[in-house]
Structure 1
Amino acid sequence: MTTPEFQIRRATVADVPTILSLIRELADFERLSHECVATEALLEESLFGPRPGAEVVIGQLGSEVVGFALFFPNFSTFLGRPGLYLEDLFVRPKYRGQGYGEHLLRHLASICVERDYGRLEWSVLDWNQRAIDFYKSLGAQPMDEWTVFRVTGDALTKLGSQ
């Protein structure tokens, strides 16, 4: 019996239902389901519309989806070059610990190299020690001296309308 090989491919508009399912699984894992309001229509417009806000790659074994990564370019004024921000990396629980997350991260790093980007960065929840240890094992360094700030919802509307 042969086993299917792991492959990473660029998502297409046909993948939107799968992407939304993975996002919802991630939200459950991160205990943030109450914040997940994405819909297929929003994702189709945001990822595949006239002004895509992000890119998605999907990792799969044969036809079975293992996980995904959603990312977009950012910019480092200090480097004077763009970088890549990884918004979400998710591997389904039954596939964890088998190297698929590492393959996805290596794929993103190769995109950075190919595009001549200066860095690859992302955030991780403080309680997710397994992920923190994994990222450190790959050479990633925590940016402990930085605090993420966010403005959303009514506060964003208020700030933007003044």
Structure 2
Amino acid sequence: MCIVIRKAEVKDCPGIFDLITELAIHEKHQDQMKISLEKFREDGFGDDTKFQCFVAECEENGKCIHMEDIYVVPEYRSKGIGSKLIGSVCKVADLQNCGRVQFIVRDSNKSAMKFYKHQGAIDLTEVQEWHLFRLTSDAIEKVAAKYD
């Protein structure tokens, strides 16, 4: 299987939006989804972009991966895709001299917390329902270097 990580394009919006929806359902927060596909497209690919996004494609079927925390559909987990996605994010952070990468993880998502800790992230909020993780300069460089 060949996985290619690339910066998302406007044509990816429907697939990414589907994954955002799937993640919200998985975390039982679909009632909190306030964004429409059109607003997502505008915020990510309009004149005043609010975020960057990467997708992972399998050349066999073209499935996309959405970066929210990092969400990989179940049938593709444990194949290194999440590591490649976070590596791509860290590469951008490293090139732009960012001091940290942060993300929030639901308290119930123990596998994600374990994954992020394995990458070198620090759990800043162990006692709260949401966990804030940060990759600092050293960890960003280490993860980014794995994907040169």
Tell me the TM-score range normalised by the shorter chain: 0.7 to 0.9
User: Are 2:16 and 2:64, in contact at CA under 8 Å, matched by a contact in 1?
Assistant: no
Q: What's the counterpart of residue 89 of structure 1?
A: 70
Q: What's the counterpart of residue 47 of structure 1?
A: 44
Q: What's the CA shift string for 1:64-123, capped at 9, x where partnerless?
A: 224122xxxxxxxxxxxxxxxxx4321111111211111111111111111111111111
Relative distance call for 1:111 and 1:146 in structure 2 (3 A) is farther
Q: What's the counterpart of residue 82 of structure 1?
A: none
1:123 partner SS = strand
For 2:36 and 2:69, locate their aligned partners in 1 and report how far apart those are by CA, in whole Å.
Answer: 16
User: Are 1:22 and 1:68, in contact at CA under 8 Å, matched by a contact in 2?
Assistant: yes
2:55 partner SS = strand
**Higher strand proportion, which one?**
1
Q: What's the counterpart of residue 25 of structure 1?
A: 22
**Higher helix proportion, which one?**
2
Scaled by the length of structure 2, the TM-score of the pair is 0.79
Higher relative contact order (CA 8 A, sep 6+): 2
* Matches for 1:1-162 after TM superposition, within 5 Å: 3=1, 5-62=2-59, 63-69=61-67, 87-144=68-125
Aligned residue pairs, count: 128
Please give the root-mean-square deviation of Cα atoms over the aligned residues, in Å. Answer: 1.8
Aligned partner of 2:35: which letter?
A
Scaled by the length of structure 1, the TM-score of the pair is 0.72
Gaps of 5+ in 1: 70-86, 149-162
User: Are 1:68 and 1:104, in contact at CA under 8 Å, matched by a contact in 2?
Assistant: no
2:66 partner SS = strand
Gaps of 5+ in 2: 131-148
